[in-house]
Structures are given as C-alpha cells and as structure tokens.
Structure 1
C-alpha cells in the first residue's frame, strides 16, 4: 500500500518552472544592460467561477466524493438562495426542496418548534448542526448558516439511530481570511423588522474573527395578536487558517419571545363535518381570528459552544476533532381550540368553541465529541478515499407536565382551571383563562451513544467506483419519570440498551466525466425511546415508540439515480427513483393489552432536481417529487374487538414541486418562484366513509413569490420580496383531528437594504 498525494502534480510543475527560470536569470545577469528581452509563449489560465446556487461538494467530511459522484440524493441550499428569497427560518429554507411537509400536532396540541416530515417519515429529530445532532422544540433561524444540506434516504450509517428518510445538516458560518461586512436592514407588512450583520475581520496572517448578529421583531401577517421577537449572537474565531493546523472556536446564542398560535377552527371549510347538522351549515371564521388568551407566550433560549481542530498530517491525511456543548429551553403556554357548540341557538353569533390551556416545559442538553479522519491511498494500484471516526455523545431531555382538570394528587386537591369557551366568530383575546398547574409529573431521559464508522470509496478505474460504509453504535437510554396514577405521584424507570449496525453500499458508473449513474442500498435503525427519550412499560397510555423490550424498527432503502453537470458544469441535473421500507412497526391490541410488531411502511418515489445557471445571468433552483405511501399489516384492535387498519401515511402528498429563479440585467435582478403541494391525507384508515370525517385531507395548493433587486453601487443593494403574490388562501397544516388549521401566510411584502463593505 502506498500513499498517493493530490498535490504531486503541482510540485512537479513548479520544479520545471524553476529549472527553466534559473538559467535564464543567470544569463540575464551576465549580459547586464545588454540583456535581451525574454519572450515566453502566451499562457492561458482557466478558473471555474463559483456558481451562486450550485454546490459541488458537501461540507460533511463523511461524504468524500463530489455531489456528482455521491450515490444518494443530496440537495444543498446555499445562502445566496436564502438571501434572495429573504428566508429567515429553517422551515422557509426547506421550501426549496420537494418532499417535505410541515405538521401541526395532536388534537388540541400544537407541535413546538420545527416539525416536519420528509418522504413519508417524521424527520424533526434528525436535524444536525455541523454533523452534531441538534435537540430541542425550537424554531431555527438561518442568520448564522452558510448552507442547508438535505440528505434523503435511510442514513443510519451517516448519523446513527432514527434516520429513516434522511437528515438535515446545517452548516455554520466560520471565519475566513478576508475583511468583509454584510448587513441587512428590512421592514415589511405586519410591522415586521429584520436586522442582520455578518462581520468578518482578518486578525493576522492566519487568524480571523467573525461575528453574526440577528434581530427580528413584528406581527404575523394575516393574524391578530400573534407576534414574534428574537435576537441572536454568533461569535467565532479561527487560528491557523491556510496552514496545516486550524482551530475554530465558535458559539451561537438565540433568544425568542413569541406569541404562539393555535390556529383557527375548520368550520365552513371544504371537507368539514360535524354530527350537529347546524354546525355543518356554519360559515368559515375570519382567518385572522385569534382564539388565544392573556398569558399565552413562548420563550426559547438556545446556547451552543463548539471547538473544532483540523490537522493535515500530509497531503493525503487529515484528522479532525469537534467538541460541542449545547442547551435549549422552551417555556410555552398556548390556548388550544377543539370542540364546537351551538348552545341550542340558531344564531351563529351565540356559537362557541371549546378552549384548552397547554404548557410545553422542555429542557434539552447535548454533549458531544467527534474524532474523524479522511485519507487517500492506493491499494493494489486502486485509489481509495476513506473517512472514519469515533463519536461519543450524551443527549438529555426533560419534560415537565401540567394539567387543568380538577384532581387530588397525594392528598392535595387541585381545583379545575377555569377554561370558558370562546365566541366562535368573534373571539376575545382578553378573556380570562386560568393557568395550568404543575402536577409534578415529568419525564427525564438520557441517551448515551458510542459509535465507530468507516466509509470508503474504491475507484476501480476512471469509470467505475464502489462506495460502502458501516457504523457500529452502542446506545443506552434511561428514563426517570413520575406519573399520576390513581391520584398519586408514582415514580418509574425505563431502560433500553443495545447495539446497532447500520450500513450503506453503492456502485457508481461514469459514462462521461460530467455524469454518473448509481445504484445504492442502505439501512437505518430506530430503537424504542430514540425520538423522545421516553421509555415505559407495556401500557395502552404510552405511544408505540416508548415500549421497553421491543425490537428496533428497521428501514431499508434502495435508490437508482443519475446526476449530470451540464453547461460547462454550471447546472446540476439529478434524477432518482427509490423504495423505502420501514418494518417492525408497532400496533396495540387493547383486547389483549399487548403490543405487536408486524406493521410496515413502504414509500416508492421519483425525484427530479435542477440547480445552477442556465446562463451567466440566469439562476435556477427547481425540484419535483412524486411518491406513493402504503402501510402494510398496520392494524390495531380496540376493547370491542374492532380492528382498524391503516393503509397510508398522514401528511404525505403524492406530488410536491418547488421553483426559484432569478435573472440579472445590469444592476437590476428580477426573480420569483412557486411551490405546489398536492392533497395531504389526514384519514388513513381503510373502509372509512370520508363524508363523515372532519376534514379528511388538506386540499392541494400552490403559492407564487416574486423578488426585485437593484444594486445602487458596490456597497448598497435594494431588494423587495413579495410573498403569496396572488393571495392564495390555503391550509398550511392541519391537526390530527381535523378540528383546527393553520393557514398559509397571505400576500405580504418585505423591503430590504443590503450593505456590503
């Protein structure tokens, strides 16, 4: 085995130039003033310019090949796209990739933070920052992101447990050897204001400092009383840039103070149904109606500290170590809405909606250390590109429970919290609702992980390459809980430990230098409690993913695809067809009070992507995805022996599409885009009469946006963004009972001044 250097060709060319130049200089010195002019042949140096929308390689060191030659679907959403769109949040950024939908939550509850599904599976617990899992019921901002990387398909070998449909990797901004300042000042409809700053300052020959700042404040378009306020600070410093050893120290601190939104009742919407015939004839409520109450609030704190060290042992071997500590807190009180009542009145002005008070009191903490290496070498004359590493991690989550019902706990009587209903068509935000009380019930869980991974790409020749990887992971999940049982606080413990082996393999064929055809196969494993650190004994009151002693759910994924770099490598075209199967899913038989693992979810899909430049002045990012979801042998039986069988997957549209494009004409840039989402099923039980179900689906919708920007000079750029250009009224997300919906943002605008120095 011999080490192969990527830079040998450079040094050999340099040696030839020096050898040729030295005799010439000696001759010139001897000739003195009589020296003759030395004439050299013309040399043309061609350098490929960076394409604003298109990335050629992932920032993830585990992915050793260019995106063109990586046998999986990966979309990189660069900061240039987010800047043009005026995107502020991760959820807004993810609109640039098809196959992702947002969720609202259970019946009366509203899910906290970024909650979404990708390719038919819940993915919010598979969000990473620089390759480290990011916990917490938080809404993430993009002010400190270089790019967002969306990796699709089972990815257990990449990130470990729970990666059924892929993961999101957020890449932080880090210092560079430049002196640059970029700032934005924005003001928009609903009295929204945005301020950001990105300051990079070179400190010495190999050190630099960077500071990213964010301040956002304002109401929410189309909603009464709902507002958001946040600020963020992200300092970083780097040493040894452009040297063999580089050290990065960086952190991020975000504070949010929001008014949470429980949505609006779905009465009067297409598909609404209620057993009360009078309610079925009711009209829609105003979409700006707010059903919350005094005291509704959401306060989120997020802090993260990271130390990263990189060392180039030689041209073919790099070693890295990353250490991370992070913590987030979410304290939220929300008024939820559910049941409707006519109060025996024929006048809709007297109709009411039931309200509830819900509390999210959650703390998350993570401590991680990752050591990795990347190496290039030859084995029997074949080139290898290897990535290997060791990951150690501790993840903790604490959830405290609150209640509103009257009950006696350990001999102490707690009265019912007053929850008067709200007027259906004319709600008041000043109604007095009581605050939920802390019951003492809680779930305090921790998962510790130790993992080893190894990936290698073996180049058989210029056209064929084999790609493979394996991850061995030992996990240990422990839960200390307190439950309220028969009027008493009862402590409990849950424990699950085991070993997981995840893998991936692929073959890549390059018919031409600018294209590839690949076939890949991968798996992932999801053990009980891996999503919420909550383990419980066999009980009908616990969800299926919390049961001790069950086998991990296993996902297998096969994908056939092709990727091409077109138009002088300025435009990337990708096409992939895949099948994903998740088995060992859990159903509950209340007749025998047991869980059984027979269910399976199958997702078949095709996805097409296009990103880059159509010309020097025309940028485009587009994608379209079609998928079919099916649940197999997924049934449950109630106490009466009635069997219910699920046949599909909620919130998984057959067709999604997204487009963003911009064209530059001198100092003027015009842009725009659209996104389409087909129907999303809520009712997925076979044999159900949909006419009797409340809002059985979210209707399809499409939304168009537009942008215009004018560069005043080298330092000032003016930009206006128009959202929902045609003021489409659509349901963005629906709760699991269909009783309430969150509407999409109506027509709105943001004017932004960009300053760069």
Structure 2
C-alpha cells in the first residue's frame, strides 16, 4: 500500500457564421441601448495596449487593468509580441510567436503518449495551463492560431496575485483584435514549401456616431515541411462589434470559432539522433530514420472545435475611475486517435533443439512498437471578471488602485474510447500507414472522467507614488476554489472474478481550499526614462490545477490529500527607454523556488512525501523597439540555472537539474526598411542543451539523453508593389541546420525541426 506524508520544510459543430451571428445577437441586443445612451465623451480607449505608432515593435503598456503602470515602471519582466512581428515572420500559431521570447521550451509528451495542444515550459515550469485570452483563462487541448491576435503578452515569474492558482512561472495573455474607429481592410494569401495554402482577412468598419464592427477570418489547408503524410486543415471566424467608441461607456461583443481537421503526428523514433544511447551496439550506431516516415495508420485523425463568446463593457465613473466587466463562455472539443512509437525490436526468439534462442534480425527487418492512443475531451468555461481602476491622492502621495473580483467555472469531460485496434509493430525504416489494424471499431466503453473547478476571488493592487523618483506597489488576491472529479471505470476480467465483467464502478474525489497570493515591489526612477526595481511575488498550485482532475494514487500530484505547491520569486531589474523612448532596454536577475514537490521517499513502503524543493535562477536581458526610423528590433537572452535543492532519488534527487530547462536561450528578430518599397528582415533563436537525463548519479540512461544545443536562423524580404499590395518571402532555417524541436520524456520519440523551407505571401491593405 502506498502512503503520503506532507511535511513542512525546515459533439457536432454548427456552421461558424450562424453560431457567430446568433451569439452576438443573443448577448448584444439587450446591452446595445445602454452603450448608445452614454452622453459623456472622452478620448477613445481601445482594447489593445497603447503602442508607439513610430515604433511598431514596442508598446507602452499592457492590456490588463491589473497592471496600471507603463511597462517602464512595472516591476516584472514582461515581453509583448505585437502583430507586426508575427506578420513579418509569417507566423501562424501562438507557439511560433512565443519563439520571440527567451526561456520557453516545447514538450512532446510522456513515453508513447503525445501531448495535446500548446504544451510548453517557461522558466523551468509547465505553463500550458496559464494561457489567457483578454485576461480570462483559456481552456482546451488546442493549437492556438494567431489570426485574431493583436499581441501576445508574456509575464514571467510567479503571478498568483494576477491570475490565481497554478501560475508558477508566469502566464501568456492573448489580446484579441477588436473594433476601432478606423475603416481598414487587410488580407494575406500565402503558400509554403509544405504545400500549405493559407488566407486571412481583417476588416474593420465604422457605423453611426460611435459604432464599429470587425471581422477576422482564416482558412488553411496543406502539409508540413519534411512530414509528407501530415496534413493540417483549419478555418476560423471571429466577428466583433462595438458601441460607444469615443464615449464614456463602451461595449464590445465578440466571438471566435475555430475548426481543425488534421493528421496527428506522433513523431519519429529517436534512433540515430545525437545523444541517443542504447546498450546494444547495433542499435546505438544505427542510422536515423527518414524524417518523412509516418508511423501511424491511415485512420488516424485529430479534430478540434473551439468556440467562445465574450461581452465586455467599460464605463467611466468620473474622477479618473473606470469600471470594466468581462463575461465569457467558451467550449472546446478535441477528438483524436493517434499512433505513437516506443521501443525498437532488433531480434527475434526461435526454437533450437527445443530451447529459445535469440537471433539478431537484419537491419531492414527491425521494427518499432506502435502505441494507439485516444483523446476525446470537452472543456467548458464560464467566467466573469469585474475591475475598477481609480487614480487619487492622499495628501502628496498618489495612488493608482485596481480592485475587483472574478468568478470562474471550468469543466472537463473525458469519456474513454475503446476499439482502437491492435497495433502491430511497424518496420523501423519503411513503415506502412496501410498496415492491417485488426479490431479497429472505435466506441465508448462507458468509463469516463469529469472534472470541475469553481473559483471565486477578490483582489486589490495599489501603486503608490511617493514622489517623482520613488514608487511602491503591492497586490493581494484571495480565492476560494473547489475541485470535484467524478468518474467511472468498467470492470475487466480478473481472477478471481469478484465483480462481474462490464460492471461500471463510480468514483468521486473533491478538494476545496483558500489560496492567498501576493506581490510587492519598490521602484526608483533615476531619470524620467528609466527605472530600477526590486520585487517579490508568489503563487500556489493546488492538486488538480492542470486539468481539474483529481486522482487517488499516492504518487500523483493530483491526489486531494496533497498540499498546494508554493512558488516564490524575487527579481531585481532595470528598464530604460532610450533613443527618444523608441527603444526599450531591460535587464533582470531572478530567483524562483518551488516547494512541496512530490517525491518518492521510500520505494519499499511506497511512501511519498512533499519534501521536494526546486530552484530556478538566472538573468534575462531584452531589447525591443526602433534603433533608427527604418530599423526595428526585438531581442532577448536568458540564463536558467535549475536545481533540485531538496529531494530523494533519480530525477528528484538533490542536485539534479530540471528537465528541458536549457542554461541559455536567446532570440532575435530585426527588420530594416530600405526606401519606400523594400524591407529586409532576419533573426535567430538559440538554445543550449535541454537535458532529459538530470540524475546526477546516472551519467547515461537508455534513449536520447536530451535535446542538443541548436542555432536556427531565418530571413525575410518584402517588396511593396504599390500602396495596397506587397509581396513577402520568408526563409526558415536558412542554414539548413539539423536539430531536435522536442523529445518525449522516455527519450524514444522526437519531433525534428523543419529543414530549410520557404513561404511566399501577398499582403493587401485597403
């Protein structure tokens, strides 16, 4: 029996258009009159963060009302990736956009399983459950497209006071494109080396005295460079409408609907890649497989439906006080059957004189195990966020107070599907997607897991301006949460058979609690365009935070008997706006510590303890903005020194590093405008080794030891044909470097970085 000890430290989719119109009408009509009746006028407040029109890469302030000060005076490392950068790079997904900030690494999954959706680490901690859209948590196992994103805001360091539970390393906030009082239309048509065709359109139109509507749409169909069988097909629609622009009351109604129909990619065997190790000589020195090999079956599929509807109202209460209320309903569904690969077979057993004898196989007959896996998952979210920001003085001291409350209900339903077929081994070097798959008849078994987390939170932040040089800031968030997991399993055949085969056995687990998160900082301004700061913050991650699913297993972090993991962060930094405030330079030293990590204390009695403690510390430097009127740049470099401070054995032993956490990462993108017609751009990204084997007592383990360091360079050229049309060419992996993009935890599967490839686009503006 396992024990736990906690110790203190010393779906069918409706047509997109009909869904959009129905959603906007249902939510918007009752509120439209209120917005139009506002008589007080003021300068328009746009949803997107304030930007410097002359420095297209740089913003002055993020979109969140909780962060009230300009980035220059915000005591935290925050990177903002604007749509201008995303378009220049020809990026289509949020993961591609995140390459513009250092310290983020991608994950593939555990052993034969492949992660679903955007899966990544930030500063050494998993961050895929800390993605937000306009300040409200986003859900679902989806690969997020960038077609409807104004900018991507990346806040680093524990951010429990800002967003609540589970923010150990920070969060990513996607800012939606919303209507403005400017008639404009833009469109892009693109084609790349993977034979992918992609088109996007963004149209904004005014109506009446204060209204506007905006429609963003996307369609994509094609393959993946270097993966001939993989196909990706998607389309999306994002309508929005606003009333009261330029007045004291502004109402925004918007929705987004995405459909994806893809061939899922389970990766390729890691045989032959750098740092691959096996005890068997033949396997250790074997050549790599062809990157185009597909180890799945023709019946593999991945379909995603993602819909959300949002209503946002902003109202000026007078006296420099603004009320903002945002309500959102969202639903996503992933339906996927995928084939992963695992161990390699290089021999067979035959009978010789009645005895089993192992006989080596010819390399052409080597095979790899295939593992069938199913994901059938629905997520729903209903949330409301109400915020008031007020500026006032108490004597000679200035205050900017941001306070509010949040209500959130998140659910995930995952029925179990059987009948996936009996997968035979695939030939290692010549796999066949049309191999027989006996028993393939997908059907629900009756088993399921359903998780739900409900959260109610109140918060307050205050920035205190003591004088022109000194500022203090602090924030506090108190939230109550309740996570409930219900499930059912289906009794299988056992001996002795105490429960009839096919009996559905129910289960229920629950965890409730209160979390208190805080942050505090002090800032000194030696000059009007610079700041030096020191800040502290924390966050807490209770069981079941990642997927609202609790588990009875003693060795699971989702066990309801576990205490929340607690992360603290200290950061000392400086920020400067130079070159007439068009270029922002930042530097910060940070240290994050995570306590209450689960470790196996006694392998004999199977006793697990929350005595683990991990530390990640480093330096991060950044530059973004305009060097000259024609030269723009965004760059960052970060070091991460990760170490287990308190632990037991293996990868959790004291002195071990953190998996997939490179010591050094760097990113750069820059463009130069030559005359009125030509723009040249280019960039690079670098990552030092990402270790899979982090046990300090075991120098070599079976499988790939980690992802070797890599350097990738990209280039861009744009020609403006006339005021309405430009042609753009992007070349990726310009030097055609071989590198691993991601690796599974077992070290047997990899996703290779794409070889040199190109994309040509035609951009239209009217």
TM value normalised by structure 1: 0.90
The answer as to whether partners of 2:159 and 2:168 remain within 8 angstroms in 1 is yes
| 1:635 maps to 2:648 | yes
Which residue among 357, 375, 386 is the counterpart of 1:360?
Answer: 375
Q: CA deviation at 1:440?
A: 2.7
Q: CA deviation at 1:695?
A: 1.0
2:145 aligned partner: 141
The correspondence of residues 627-706 of structure 1 with structure 2, limited to 5 A, is: 627-635=640-648, 647-666=656-675, 667-690=677-700, 692-706=701-715
Which residue among 323, 340, 346 is the counterpart of 1:336?
Answer: 340
Q: CA deviation at 1:484?
A: 4.9
Which residue among 380, 384, 388 is the counterpart of 2:399?
Answer: 384
The answer as to whether partners of 1:57 and 1:65 remain within 8 angstroms in 2 is yes
Q: CA–CA distance in 1 between the matches of 2:538 and 2:735?
A: 43
Q: CA–CA distance in 1 between the matches of 2:603 and 2:505?
A: 23
Q: CA–CA distance in 1 between the matches of 2:473 and 2:386?
A: 22
Q: CA–CA distance in 2 between the matches of 1:464 and 1:677?
A: 38
Given the superposition, is the C-alpha separation of residues 535 and 517 from structure 1 closer, same or farther in structure 2, using an over 3 Å criterion? same
2:84 aligned partner: 80
The answer as to whether partners of 2:522 and 2:534 remain within 8 angstroms in 1 is yes
| Partner SS for 1:68 | helix
Which residue among 185, 205, 213 is the counterpart of 2:209?
Answer: 205
Task: Write out per-residue CA displacement over residues 130-149 of structure 1, whole angstroms, 9 at most, x where no aligned residue.
Answer: 00000111000010010000
| Partner SS for 2:194 | helix
Task: Write out per-residue CA displacement over residues 82-107 of structure 1, whole angstroms, 9 at most, x where no aligned residue.
Answer: 01001100000000000000000000
The answer as to whether partners of 1:645 and 1:685 remain within 8 angstroms in 2 is no
Q: CA deviation at 1:646?
A: 7.0
The answer as to whether partners of 1:194 and 1:216 remain within 8 angstroms in 2 is yes
Q: CA deviation at 1:437?
A: 5.2
Which residue among 439, 446, 457 is the counterpart of 2:463?
Answer: 457
Q: CA–CA distance in 1 between the matches of 2:401 and 2:654?
A: 46
Q: CA–CA distance in 1 between the matches of 2:597 and 2:217?
A: 44
Q: CA–CA distance in 1 between the matches of 2:574 and 2:277?
A: 46
Q: CA deviation at 1:548?
A: 1.1
Q: CA–CA distance in 1 between the matches of 2:131 and 2:757?
A: 29
| Partner SS for 1:225 | strand
Q: CA–CA distance in 2 between the matches of 1:529 and 1:138?
A: 19
| 1:558 maps to 2:567 | no
1:734 aligned partner: 743
| 1:529 maps to 2:544 | yes
| 1:754 maps to 2:766 | no
Q: CA deviation at 1:593?
A: 3.3
1:230 aligned partner: 234
Given the superposition, is the C-alpha separation of residues 627 and 170 from structure 1 closer, same or farther in structure 2, using an over 3 Å criterion? same
| Partner SS for 2:227 | coil
Q: CA deviation at 1:346?
A: 4.3
Q: CA deviation at 1:441?
A: 2.6
The correspondence of residues 188-203 of structure 1 with structure 2, limited to 5 A, is: 188-203=192-207
The answer as to whether partners of 1:599 and 1:632 remain within 8 angstroms in 2 is yes
1:129 aligned partner: 133
1:180 aligned partner: 184
TM value normalised by structure 2: 0.89
Given the superposition, is the C-alpha separation of residues 737 and 459 from structure 1 closer, same or farther in structure 2, using an over 3 Å criterion? same
Q: CA–CA distance in 2 between the matches of 1:271 and 1:570?
A: 44
Given the superposition, is the C-alpha separation of residues 753 and 278 from structure 1 closer, same or farther in structure 2, using an over 3 Å criterion? same
Q: CA–CA distance in 1 between the matches of 2:575 and 2:52?
A: 19
Q: CA deviation at 1:380?
A: 2.2
The correspondence of residues 75-114 of structure 1 with structure 2, limited to 5 A, is: 75-114=79-118
Q: Larger C-alpha radius of gyration, 1 or 2?
A: 1
The answer as to whether partners of 2:108 and 2:115 remain within 8 angstroms in 1 is yes
1:512 aligned partner: 527
Given the superposition, is the C-alpha separation of residues 189 and 478 from structure 1 closer, same or farther in structure 2, using an over 3 Å criterion? same
Q: What residue ranges of structure 1 are gaps of 5+ in the alignment?
A: 1-9, 12-46, 405-415
The correspondence of residues 614-625 of structure 1 with structure 2, limited to 5 A, is: 614-625=627-638
Q: CA deviation at 1:636?
A: 5.3
The answer as to whether partners of 1:123 and 1:166 remain within 8 angstroms in 2 is yes
| Partner SS for 1:125 | coil
| Partner SS for 1:82 | helix
Moved more, 78-87 or 644-653: 644-653
CA-based RMSD: 1.8
| Partner SS for 1:364 | strand
Q: CA–CA distance in 1 between the matches of 2:649 and 2:454?
A: 33
1:26 aligned partner: none
The answer as to whether partners of 2:229 and 2:292 remain within 8 angstroms in 1 is no
2:484 aligned partner: 478
Q: CA–CA distance in 2 between the matches of 1:258 and 1:345?
A: 38
